[in-house]
Every structure is written in C-alpha cells, then in structure tokens.
Amino acid sequence: MSYADAAASSGPIGAEKIPEPTTVKSSPVSGNIEVVAEDKFDELKKAAESDAGKFEKDAKAFEKKAKKDIKNFEKKAKDEYSDLVALLSKKYQEASAYTSEFFSNLGDNTSKIVAKSSTELENPVVVIQAVAGISGIVAGYIGYLERHRIRTDSNVVLAIHGAVITGLIGLDVYLFGKYYPQYDKKSKKL
C-alpha cells in the first residue's frame, strides 16, 4: 500500500472503520418515574410555596439586620476616624510648638555653649582632657579595626586590657580633680 493510499484510508493500515453510533429512539415515559396524584401534587406545591415564603421572610429579615449592622458600623467608624484625626492634629500641633520653641532657643543656647566652651578651653587641664578623650576614641576605633589580630580567647589578655583601661581612667579622674581647680579661670574671675 502506498503512502497516499494509507493517508486516504480512515485509519492505520489494516484497521477497520469505526461503526456508526447508535441512535436513541424516543419512546413514551414508562418505568421508574413516580406519578403523583393531583391532590397530592397540590399539597406538595403548597408546602414548597410555604417553604419559599419562609425562606423569603428569613432572607428579608437577614437583609434588614445586615443593613442595620452596616449602618451602625459606618457610624462607629466615622466616630473613630474623627477621634483619630483629632488626636493626630493635636500631636502635630504639639510637635510643631516644640520644634518652634527648640529652634527659637537654639541661638541663645548655642551662644551660651560657645561662651562656656571658650572659658573652659583656657584651662590647660581641660585641653589635655579633650586630647586624651579624642586619643582614646581613636585608639578604640583602631582596636575595633584590628580586633581580628588581638587574641581575645585568653582571659589574661582581656584582664590586662581591662586593667590598663581602668588604670588610665582612674589616673585621669585623679589628675583632673587635683589640677582643674588650680587653673580654673571662672573661680578667679568672681
């Protein structure tokens, strides 16, 4: 068989043709269908109408209650929204007043701080204190950057570092307490 003959046939080579589907013949109703008498049918119809009426009444009652609940919710939500807006407005006004007061006093406070700082910086103990503080911050930062090189698994190393830091702070407090009053220009001005 040639390719053209095979393509022209209804299926693969040697296959039989598919038979025609059977047709259904209509016949009068008989068998498993229950026939109800007219008076019984009227009773069933009235019961169904009664059930439908009850369902409709229940649905209307539910709809009425749902509308009432929605109305109450909307009213309550409006009240809550109004309270929230009032609270936010009040807090905004308080923040605005605080910011305004802060910036209005900023110039006075800054000038007082600068005047006090210039008086304090005339004392050499304060200058040495500032230099020591800045040096401590720089040393701490370098220690932070080099922390992977410092072996902190030994408690002795940690104890030595802690003792050195504590000793330097104690010495600083002692020297500041002893020499600050000698060079204090404020007490001599009075």
Is 3 a domain residue?
no
Is 9 a domain residue?
no
Residue carrying structure tokens 């259904």: 24
- Range scoring the smallest mean pLDDT among 5-9, 46-50, 56-60: 5-9
pLDDT of residue 63: 93
Is 164 a domain residue?
yes
pLDDT of residue 190: 45
Residue 184 phi/psi, 5-degree rounding, is: -75, 120
pLDDT of residue 114: 81
Do 136 and 167 reside in the same domain of the chain? Answer: yes
Number of residues written out for the chain: 190
Do 137 and 109 reside in the same domain of the chain? Answer: no
| Class of residue 159 by CB neighbours under 10 A (exposed 0-12, middle 13-18, buried 19+) | exposed
Is residue 58 pLDDT above 80, yes or no?
Answer: yes
Is 85 a domain residue?
yes
Is 83 a domain residue?
yes
Q: What percent of the chain has pLDDT over 70?
A: 79
Count the domains in the chain: 2
CA distances from 109 to 10, 20, 101, 104, 167 (A): 103, 105, 12, 10, 36
Structural domain that includes position 51: 38-113
Do 94 and 49 reside in the same domain of the chain? Answer: yes
Side-chain half-sphere of 66: how many Cα atoms within 13 Å?
6
Do 101 and 156 reside in the same domain of the chain? Answer: no
Q: What pLDDT, in 10s, does the model give residues 150-190?
A: 666 677 777 887 788 888 888 888 888 888 888 776 665 54
Q: What pLDDT, in 10s, does the model give residues 69-128?
A: 999 999 999 989 899 999 999 999 999 998 888 888 777 778 888 877 777 778 788 888
pLDDT of residue 1: 61
**What is d(CA 23, CA 68) in angstroms, rounded to the nearest whole number?**
59
Is 24 a domain residue?
no
Question: What Rg, from alpha-carbon coordinates, does the chain have?
Answer: 49
**What is d(CA 48, CA 41) in angstroms, rounded to the nearest whole number?**
10
Residue carrying structure tokens 């069933």: 44
Is 74 a domain residue?
yes
Is residue 7 pLDDT above 90, yes or no?
Answer: no
